[in-house]
Amino acid sequence: MEPHLPRLTDVDEKAANRATRQVATFFGLVPVLSIGFAVVYFAVPGDSYLDFGPLRANTRNLLLGLTFGLALLFLGVGAVHWARKLMDDEEMIDYRHGASSSDADKNYMLTELDKVVDESKLTRRKVIGRSLLGALATILLPMIVGLADLGPWPTKKKRAETIERTIWAPGVRVVNDITFEPIKPEDIEIGQLINAEPANLQDLEGAEFQIEKAKAAAIVVRMDPNTITIPPTRQGWNIGGVLCYSKICTHVGCPISLWEQQTHHLLCPCHQSTFDLGDAGKVVFGPAARPLPQLPIALDSEGYIVAQRDFLVPPGPSFFERDSRHDSPE
Amino acid sequence: DEVLRPEDKRAIIGYLQGLHERPTDGGFALGGLGPVSEGLWAWIIGLGSLIFFAMWIAAKGAKAK
């Protein structure tokens, strides 16, 4: 250990007195600030605002914060200053013993353990131990049966009824999201995106409404037909430059809304999956594993946009049981 | 215009402009630019003062000559 060096305040009485005065000053300011806090709390009106330069704050809140904050700060600073300058700072050595227990303790422990096993009579009457094991193993059965019945089992049939279908059907009108107004393609400008729903969503309520909306939500976009590529298998799914895609990202299921008009990219805010809607919804960036599903649309007799049928692939996040490698149109 | 009618758009704009003009009670807003600028000040002022206090507490101090 290096030799102990006395501090200035240890030898110089004037320095020690000065340090004492400083500590007392810090501590002495605390009651001033605390009472100031109380005064500000009652005396300063709550709707006056300080407004100069970059500062634009409620006067009362600012003063309350300053008084209480500085009071706490000076309390701490005073204590630290006292410890650094005036409290005894002699170094001392504290010896530590080894980490493991003594041999006597270890032996005592082992003999006690042996005694415990003997006293429980498990070794002599083995049937107790065996029947106990059987009992403990089977007591879990009620819990397993109870938990297994909490919801539907994810069989292929269940999937086909739930996540692999939506309420879109032939002839269902594509309508605006909240207002349920039908859409005419002439009213859509190039570069516009409309949040859409199936018209038959209005017939549902409550939980069923939310569940079906979460799968069936779609968007209608209009692009310049000369700037997009429509694969041969999807000819006729569009009306000129007006296309309809699912709104639900194929990554984790966030509803996508960031539509980049010039690039025809649809950007999901959650994990930044980007789909090129001018190229069959292909994934051009991000963690999505399969393209955005496209809804085939047509015009009905009154000129409003309708769906030709349900989505050909399930919308929403990809899931293990379905091989989506062949989703892209070739 | 069929999705959001002009009067809806005007109502939204009016609300936002009213919001901007109201004084906030939140104190010093640091420019209101968001988490990146808040991080800048947190690192400079916040961490700077924490480091200052840590160094002050542990410093050796004036020794007797």
Average pLDDT over residues B3-22: 86
More confident position, A33 or A152: A33
Between A169 and A124, name the one with better pLDDT: A169
Q: Does the structure show a pLDDT above 80 at A55?
A: no
Distance, CA of A181 to CA of A192 (rounded, Å): 16
Question: B27-40: per-residue pLDDT in tens?
Answer: 676 666 778 888 88
Confidence bin at A330 (pLDDT 50/70/90): low
Q: A280-328: per-residue pLDDT in tens?
A: 999 999 999 999 999 999 999 999 999 999 999 999 999 999 998 888 8
Residue A51 has pLDDT above 80, yes or no: no
pTM above 0.90, yes or no: no
pLDDT at B25: 67
Say whether A256 sits in a helix, a strand or coil: coil
Query: How high is the pLDDT of residue A58?
Result: 83
Residue A183: the pLDDT is 93
pLDDT (0 to 100) of residue A267: 96
Q: How confident is the model at residue A73 (pLDDT cuts 50, 70, 90)?
A: very high
Say how many CB pairs under 8 Å bridge A and B.
50
Q: How far is B45 from chain A (nearest CA, A)?
A: 16
Terminal CA-CA length for chain A:
79
Stretch (H or E) spanning A222: strand A218-222
Residues of B in contact with A12 (CB under 8 A): 64
Question: Angle at Cα A250 formed by Cα A245 and Cα A256, nearest 5°?
Answer: 60
- For residue B5, the model assigns a pLDDT of 80
CA distance A203 to A200: 6
Query: What pLDDT does residue A32 have?
Result: 97
pLDDT at B1 over 70: no
Q: How many residues does chain B have?
A: 65
Name which of B25, B62, B64 is nearest A58 (Cβ-Cβ): B25
Tokens 């605002």 found at? A49
| Least-confidence region, from A2-11, A158-167, A254-263 | A2-11
- Residues A174, A183: contact at Cβ < 8 Å? yes
- Rounded CA-CA distance A270/A273 in Å is 8
| Residue A28 clears pLDDT 70, i.e. is over it | yes
State whether residue A182 sits within 8 Å of chain B by CB.
no
- Gap between the Cα atoms of A265 and A284, Å rounded: 8
Using pLDDT thresholds of 50, 70 and 90, give the confidence band for residue B26. Answer: low
Other beta carbons within 10 angstroms of residue A261's beta carbon come to 14
Place of tokens 């800048």: B40
Selected residue with higher pLDDT from A2 and A247: A247
Chain B residues at the A interface, defined by Cβ less than 8 Å, are 1-3, 23-29, 31, 56-57, 59, 61-64
A79 CB near a chain B CB, below 8 Å?
A: no
Flag whether residue A62 sits within 8 Å of chain B, measured between CB atoms: yes
Round the average pLDDT of chain A to a whole number and report it. 92
Residues of A within 8 A of B27 (CB-CB) are 57-58, 61-62, 65
Interface test with B, best of A2, A48, A58, A89 (most B CBs within 10 A): A58
Per-residue pLDDT at A57 exceeds 90: no
What percent of chain B has a predicted confidence (pLDDT) above 90? 35
A129 min Cα distance to partner chain B (Å): 59
Encode pLDDT of A155-208 as tens digits.
Answer: 999 999 999 999 999 999 999 998 899 999 999 999 999 999 999 999 999 999
pLDDT tens profile A215-236: 999 999 999 999 999 999 999 9
